[in-house]
Amino acid sequence: MNLILTFPGVLGLGIQLALFVYFARVLPLGAFSLPCMTILTSLIYFYVMPVTSLLAGIDSFFGMPLTSLEETHWVTLLYVGGATIAFVVNRRALALNPSPRLATDKPPNQVIYVSLWVAVILSLVARYAIGQFNVAQNQEYQVSFENSNVAFLTLGLSMAISLTLIYLIRDNFGPKSLGLLFVILYLCSVAAFRFRILLVLCAAMICFALVRGIKIRIWMVLVGSIGGIALMNLIGLARSYGAGLSYSQVESKSLAEAFSSFGGELGIVYVTQYTATNPFIQFIGLDPWIVAVTRFVPTFLWHDKPTANYLGEFIAGFPARGAAQAGIAAPQQVEMLLQFGWFGVPCLTFLYFSLITRFGCALMRLGREARIAGFAMIPPFFGYYMQSRGYFFQMVAEAIFTFLPLFILDIKALRPTALAFRRRPQVPPNLRSRMRKQ
């Protein structure tokens, strides 16, 4: 607790709790709104995780001790401050409610909907064929990730999330759509990407609340957060990418261990503290944005395209061996610090969340199902996933494959009559004779 009882620690905690309660009361999505999810993620990562880990006796990570959180709390306060200004400036966009039916609503294009599902299935089959997706949990199946040029195939699951939410809403959460939801959750567990599991669960709950007109209370989110932390920790202990979950590894874990065993996620706290306290020689500037754009150019067309070399800065402060292979992540705050320093944290946060809140206005032009699905995915995607991972290039790719299907489904289906040439109107014979007599 001594790490929290500092001026920035107490100040940041008080401000974030006050903002959480305020936004939970005034916004349509309540405690599951984008501001609340952003603040909740900040509190869990930079307050709950370090305190519970220290209480469990974990005071270092890959040889780096945790002796202070003062700089980290200043960074998180700047991050939440920039986001709050964006929320206040764009408060009308945040207050939009996607659930009421509109006269202009139309069902999704069924031809495109089926085509997108075919694309998802083909991506899963391809991953299974190259040895990266043991969907049948076969003991003889060899999982291998040597071919890194096909990493884009994992985005098929991102596309499946939005398609599943569309079906849940259209089916009114009936047995068929719930069965599809469990299938997608199983596939996400096989892939072992925790953020997709959390995205599916949060978005499905928000969709259910919007469709049924349920007000999301603060206590609901707090209870769900406790269960979510334990679930994510257990998945982290049991997962193996592409091979699914090994439940034997968590059978002996107690509830206290499940809540405090953050694994690699704890590295986010250490990376943030190290980056905030160790000034770097040269900022990376626009590199994350450049890499995000050039990533969509195939490698065989541009062999030496820009890459995210700055990711090595994330593990620079860990003296122990194996840190580079441990997959230690960094939050978005660290990427912002590397880009433009302390000044860049509130400015970039304001820019990103201003664009995200305005994105809701574009979603309001879609049909009801796509509209609700889009609004349901915004809080967990941009409030949780974007903040917890400082990989701008990865976030852009995930966002495109997660949200773009909603807009594609709004395309009108081409009918044969729409392609026909205009013809002169046919006049009935009786009316033609009358016209001649006149």
Minimum mean pLDDT range among 139-143, 195-199, 279-283: 139-143
Domain count, the chain: 1
In a domain, 132, yes or no: yes
pTM to 2 decimal places: 0.88
In a domain, 182, yes or no: yes
Q: Is the pLDDT of residue 1 over 80?
A: no
Confidence of residue 423 (pLDDT cuts 50, 70, 90): very low
In a domain, 351, yes or no: yes
What pLDDT score was predicted for residue 229?
78
Are residues 133 and 188 in contact, defined by beta-carbon separation less than 8 angstroms?
Answer: no
What pLDDT score was predicted for residue 181?
95
pLDDT digits (tens, 9 = 90+) for 79-130: 999 999 999 999 999 999 999 988 888 888 999 999 999 999 999 998 888 8
Minimum mean pLDDT range among 114-118, 141-145, 340-344, 385-389: 141-145
Phi, psi of 413 (to 5 degrees): -75, 135
What pLDDT score was predicted for residue 161?
96
Rounded distance between C-alpha atoms, residue 182 and residue 113, angstroms: 19
Q: List the structure tokens of 147.
A: 């071919």
Which carries the bigger pLDDT value, residue 436 or residue 117?
Answer: 117
Rounded distance between C-alpha atoms, residue 371 and residue 388, angstroms: 25
Q: Is the pLDDT of residue 76 over 60?
A: yes
Closest CA to 361 of 374, 352, 349: 374
pLDDT digits (tens, 9 = 90+) for 260-300: 667 678 889 999 999 999 877 789 999 999 999 998 887 77
List 245's β-bridge partners, or say none: 239
Phi, psi of 234 (to 5 degrees): -65, -40
What pLDDT score was predicted for residue 433?
55
In a domain, 436, yes or no: no
Average pLDDT over residues 321-326: 71
Share of the chain above pLDDT 90, in %: 52
Q: List the structure tokens of 14.
A: 């008080």
What pLDDT score was predicted for residue 240?
66
In a domain, 360, yes or no: yes
Confidence of residue 418 (pLDDT cuts 50, 70, 90): very low
Q: How many CB atoms lie within 10 A of CB 117?
A: 16
What pLDDT score was predicted for residue 419?
36
What pLDDT score was predicted for residue 39?
96
- Which range marks the domain in which residue 274 is found? 7-412
Residue reference for tokens 């590894």? 249
In a domain, 417, yes or no: no
List 61's β-bridge partners, or say none: 64
Residue 335 Cα to chain centre, angstroms = 17
pLDDT digits (tens, 9 = 90+) for 371-389: 999 999 999 999 999 999 9
Residue reference for tokens 């220290």? 54
Q: Is the pLDDT of residue 162 over 80?
A: yes
Average pLDDT over residues 52-67: 84
Q: Across all residues in the chain, what is the average pLDDT?
A: 85
Average pLDDT over residues 310-315: 85
What pLDDT score was predicted for residue 435?
47
In a domain, 16, yes or no: yes
Are residues 38 and 261 in contact, defined by beta-carbon separation less than 8 angstroms?
Answer: no
What pLDDT score was predicted for residue 410?
87
| H, E, C per residue of the chain | CCCCCCHHHHHHHHHHHHHHHHHHHHCCCHHHCHHHHHHHHHHHHHHHHHHHHHHCCCCEECCEECCCCHHHHHHHHHHHHHHHHHHHHCHHHHCCCCCCCCCCCCCCCHHHHHHHHHHHHHHHHHHHHCCCCCCCCCCCCCCCCCCHHHHHHHHHHHHHHHHHHHHHHHCCCCHHHHHHHHHHHHHHHHHCCHHHHHHHHHHHHHHHHHHHCCCCCHHHHHHHHHHHHHHHHHHHHHEECCCEECHHHCCCCCHHHHHHCCHHHHHHHHHHHHHHHCCCCCCCCCHHHHHHHHCCCCCCCCCCCCCCHHHHHHHCCCCCCCCCCCCCCCCHHHHHHHHHCCCHHHHHHHHHHHHHHHHHHHHCCCCHHHHHHHHHHHHHHHHHHHHHCCCHHHHHHHHHHHHHHHHHCCCCCCCHHHHCCCCCCCCCHHHHHHHHHC
In a domain, 49, yes or no: yes
Q: Is the pLDDT of residue 417 over 50?
A: no
